Structure 1
Amino acid sequence: MGSCKKSRMKEAACRRFLSVVVVTVGGVLLLIFLLRAKSTVELAKEPAFDVNRMEGNASDFSARVRSGLNLPVQNELSLELERRNQLPPRNQDLFPSLAAGHVIIVLYVHNRPQYLQMVVESLSQVVGIGETMLIVSHDGYFQEMNKIIEGIRFCQVKQIFAPYSPHIFSNRFPGVSLNDCRDKDDAATNKCDGNPDQYGNHRSLKIVSLKHHWWWMMNTVWDGLAETHGHSGHILFIEEDHFIFPNAYRNLQALVKLKLKKCPSCYAANLAPSDVNSRGEGWASLIAERMGNVGYSFNRTVWRKIHRKAKEFCYFDEYNWDITMWATVYPSFGAPVYTLRGPKTSAVHFGKCGLHQGQAANKTCINNGVVKVALDEGDKVMNIDSNWDVRIFKHQPGYKAGFKGWGGWGDDRDRQLCLDFSQMYRSKEAASF
């Protein structure tokens, strides 16, 4: 009797064991199937550079970006900034989703905290700002600038930091090394490094960083971020010394829609006239004119046209990104490059000092330490009429094809770094130049 009980117990134990084995094996097989299915879907969606799988530390990410390129060896700060660039947007608990048809806003900044505080305050009053995402692109890392952005609570915010900014390399390129040529040094005589610009001047860190940051930012925003991957709509670009009116976002949404019908040949939509001193004409009509550099927006199709002109952009001896675009990139499109705007401005340029002035406690760049922009009731609500016709401004003054540039961009190292930025998120096979 005892032996029979033992036999039945062994059989029961065996059956339980087999059941556990079957369930375990079945679970493993199901998990493998699901993972393979997920991988197949992700592979089908995968772009030339996989912005959706940026797991790992900053050095791993950097190695993938640097593959096949001649980007400078990064220091610890550069790697840390690259890691921060992969962090998700903040304030998603306050704004869990973005509105359909939203226009992403990119604010690119340098190191003028007084100015930045003003533009952030103006953005906080913009109608509809909570519907979209604000991407802030920093030229390097400055603690006070970072602190201001971290205080934003009125929309989703993502920060990106230029990891190859000359400002974060203290003793070698893209910063300045001890053996770099200075001013009008003769490289052969002084046995120093560098190529002079067309006027005989060697590179200046503060000057070259302007063009580097803009081009790095454009390539990163359009091709290197999971948050913008697949975004086919317009992206608005503003700077830290642009005061944005409360009606700016609603006006821009209206202009983007009207552009398709009223001005299909227009490349962009602008918040402000190309003449930064103008507040607009006040007419009952839309304006098509040369693209301005205050509050300009365009879509991915236009970006692809610009990206195909990387060589023209990177080799033109001009340190200003906007003059480079006006003098060499836009003319190469073969037809006038117009932008559509309203008859009244929705943004103004308030800066009185250059990009690398107005820092710390110095209040001389802002009258009495504040910006005073007079707003009327029409500046607070959308004031674009869909029934207006379009008036085209032709033969406007300004930089055009044939202008040889102000220089400041003659060093071969800067030109190559610029070209490398163009390929950061693209395979060699997909490179268009």
Structure 2
Amino acid sequence: MSLDRKNRIKHAAFRRILHVVVVALLGVLLLFFLWRTGSVYHITWDSDEVDEGIVQHTALVSIEKSGLPKQTKLSVSLEKRNWLPPRNLDLFPNLAEDHITLVLYVHNRPQYLKVVVESLSKVEGIGETLLIVSHDGYFEEMNKIVKSIRFCQVKQIFAPYSPHLFPNSFPGVSPGDCQQKDDPSKKHCKGNPDQYGNHRSPKIVSLKHHWWWMMNTVWDGLKETRQHSGHILFIEEDHFIFPNAYRNIQLLTKLKAQKCSDCYAANLAPSDVNSRGEGWASLIAEKIGNIGYAFNRTVWRKIHSRAREFCFFDDYNWDITMWATVYPSFGGPVYTLRGPRASAAHFGKCGLHQGQGEQGACIDNGSVNIAIEEVDRITNVNSDWEVHIYKRQSGYQAGFKGWGGWGDMRDHQLCLDFAKMYYLGSTPLPG
């Protein structure tokens, strides 16, 4: 082999090595840039959870952050907590194979939360599953109550874009925001009024934002649930849960595929919050209620595909938005399956942003007086029963224009950003 040819081979090999080194350096620089701009987070947890027996955990979380508001320090800190593993793994190391995950979403009504937690502690089968508590904002007393739970695996998540975490900027109150019925052209203020001429109230819009962020996070974001193939049961901080609730919802979710082809969900209670059920020897199919409702990933995908309908409907209530625009867009009957006797009950006397303050606020005599009979302690759904369908029910239907409170374009965009925050392009993050 000639010397020239050997030199050419050496030069070619050097160029290839140099090319690889340059590409590697560019890759490192790109990762550094993404880290600096907030697209990739390198998160380390340590002392905050040492007392729970959790050692340091590290994760690389890649989330499409474009469009989301600039976070506060508290917001960033809470978002890091969302990636912590569940507590009580030493007490409940394994979940049942057919478990139904529970999600409890809360604001700041500690007297309510104590009642719900106490009722959950007595639920048959609760130790078989994972309880996720989703917080709208950060409130220390609420946090302490959840950290005291010892009857199952429990994981806390915090809505990092809750208006309650942004005292001086959107999605909280921004300088120069329009108030009430201000005329932007005269006041030179920011914001879009709703259909009734009212400007946004951060405390009010947080209700819908929290629910939508929570749904996207539970189904598509969390390691524990983003590949969960079964049903997930959703409850609120003013829902009293009966001892037979978990066993009943397990059976109902199995029966709906067999008994009711138009049933998208299963419910623990009637859609009429004042009803404890008919007491008949039959299953009931009716419109989906907001007390103890469970559905699977197939239904979530249908809901997620209606993100624009959800995000642009002028009503600050998530449930009314679903009834008036999302469910009707499915193109056919949308029912839920439940038993003839409630396994959960609404006990709240106050609205979302009340109930904190003096001891026992919004609860009669500081406690809840809900009678639990023997039939409420055991599974009381019969798989041999026929299904009675309520085809026409009162309440919010397609065509209802909404109660307003959701007219600001910034809220519309934030809502849409939540729908895509766990997606890269159109592909969900890998497990």
Q: TM-score, normalised by structure 2?
A: 0.85
Whether the aligned pair in 2 keeps the contact of 1:89 and 1:158 (CA below 8 Å) is yes
Whether the aligned pair in 2 keeps the contact of 1:62 and 1:79 (CA below 8 Å) is no
Whether the aligned pair in 1 keeps the contact of 2:307 and 2:419 (CA below 8 Å) is yes
Q: Is 1:240 matched up with 2:237? A: yes
Q: TM-score, normalised by structure 1?
A: 0.85
Return the alpha-carbon distance in structure 2 between the equivalents of residues 400 and 118 of structure 1: 32
Return the alpha-carbon distance in structure 1 between the equivalents of residues 234 and 186 of structure 2: 44
Return the alpha-carbon distance in structure 1 between the equivalents of residues 427 and 92 of structure 2: 36
Return the alpha-carbon distance in structure 1 between the equivalents of residues 222 and 292 of structure 2: 21
Whether the aligned pair in 1 keeps the contact of 2:42 and 2:60 (CA below 8 Å) is no
Return the alpha-carbon distance in structure 2 between the equivalents of residues 314 and 157 of structure 1: 30
Q: Which residue of 2 aligns with 1:315?
A: 312
Return the alpha-carbon distance in structure 1 between the equivalents of residues 415 and 63 of structure 2: 14
Q: Helix, strand or coil for the counterpart of 2:143?
A: helix
Residues 57 and 73 (structure 1), Cα distance of their counterparts in 2 relative to 1, 3 Å cut:
farther
For residues 81-131 of structure 1, give each alpha carbon's deviation from its aligned partner in whole angstroms, at most 9, with x where no partner exists.
010000000000000000010000000000000000000000000000000
Residue 57 of structure 1: how far off its partner (Å): 4.8
Q: Is 1:332 matched up with 2:329? A: yes
Runs of 4+ in 1 over 6 A off after TM superposition: 60-63
Alignment partner for residue 226 of structure 1, among 223, 228, 232? Answer: 223
Residue 54 of structure 1: how far off its partner (Å): 7.4
Q: Helix, strand or coil for the counterpart of 2:325?
A: helix
Alignment partner for residue 346 of structure 1, among 343, 347, 353? Answer: 343
Return the alpha-carbon distance in structure 1 between the equivalents of residues 297 and 291 of structure 2: 19
Flag structure 2 segments of 5+ consecutive residues without an equivalent.
1-39, 46-57
For residues 259-314 of structure 1, give each alpha carbon's deviation from its aligned partner in whole angstroms, at most 9, with x where no partner exists.
12111321000000000000000000000000000000000000000000000000
Alignment partner for residue 372 of structure 1, among 361, 369, 374? Answer: 369
**Number of residue pairs the alignment of both structures matches:** 377
Q: Which residue of 1 aligns with 2:170?
A: 173
The residue type equivalent to 1:86 in the other structure is W
Q: Which residue of 2 aligns with 1:65?
A: 63
Flag structure 1 segments of 5+ consecutive residues without an equivalent.
1-52
Whether the aligned pair in 1 keeps the contact of 2:43 and 2:80 (CA below 8 Å) is no
Alignment partner for residue 208 of structure 1, among 205, 208, 214? Answer: 205
Q: Helix, strand or coil for the counterpart of 1:56?
A: strand
Residues 205 and 422 (structure 1), Cα distance of their counterparts in 2 relative to 1, 3 Å cut:
same
Q: Helix, strand or coil for the counterpart of 1:267?
A: strand
Return the alpha-carbon distance in structure 1 between the equivalents of residues 262 and 184 of structure 2: 47
Whether the aligned pair in 2 keeps the contact of 1:54 and 1:86 (CA below 8 Å) is no
Q: Helix, strand or coil for the counterpart of 2:230?
A: coil
Residue 63 of structure 1: how far off its partner (Å): 8.5
Return the alpha-carbon distance in structure 2 between the equivalents of residues 211 and 229 of structure 1: 21
Residues 420 and 61 (structure 1), Cα distance of their counterparts in 2 relative to 1, 3 Å cut:
farther
Whether the aligned pair in 2 keeps the contact of 1:195 and 1:410 (CA below 8 Å) is yes
Alignment partner for residue 389 of structure 1, among 369, 386, 389? Answer: 386
Return the alpha-carbon distance in structure 1 between the equivalents of residues 394 and 234 of structure 2: 23
Q: Larger C-alpha radius of gyration, 1 or 2?
A: 1
Whether the aligned pair in 1 keeps the contact of 2:180 and 2:198 (CA below 8 Å) is yes
Of all paired residues, the percent bearing the same amino acid is 71
The residue type equivalent to 1:180 in the other structure is D
Q: Helix, strand or coil for the counterpart of 1:105?
A: strand
The residue type equivalent to 2:317 in the other structure is N
Q: Which residue of 1 aligns with 2:43?
A: 56
Q: Which residue of 1 aligns with 2:248?
A: 251
Residue 413 of structure 1: how far off its partner (Å): 0.3
Residue 207 of structure 1: how far off its partner (Å): 0.6
Return the alpha-carbon distance in structure 1 between the equivalents of residues 370 and 263 of structure 2: 29
Q: Helix, strand or coil for the counterpart of 1:135?
A: strand
Residue 177 of structure 1: how far off its partner (Å): 1.4
Return the alpha-carbon distance in structure 1 between the equivalents of residues 148 and 68 of structure 2: 33
Return the alpha-carbon distance in structure 2 between the equivalents of residues 426 and 242 of structure 1: 32
Q: Which residue of 2 aligns with 1:287?
A: 284
Return the alpha-carbon distance in structure 1 between the equivalents of residues 426 and 378 of structure 2: 48
Return the alpha-carbon distance in structure 2 between the equivalents of residues 310 and 429 of structure 1: 14
Superposition RMSD in Å: 1.6
Whether the aligned pair in 2 keeps the contact of 1:113 and 1:360 (CA below 8 Å) is no
Q: Which residue of 1 aligns with 2:76?
A: 79
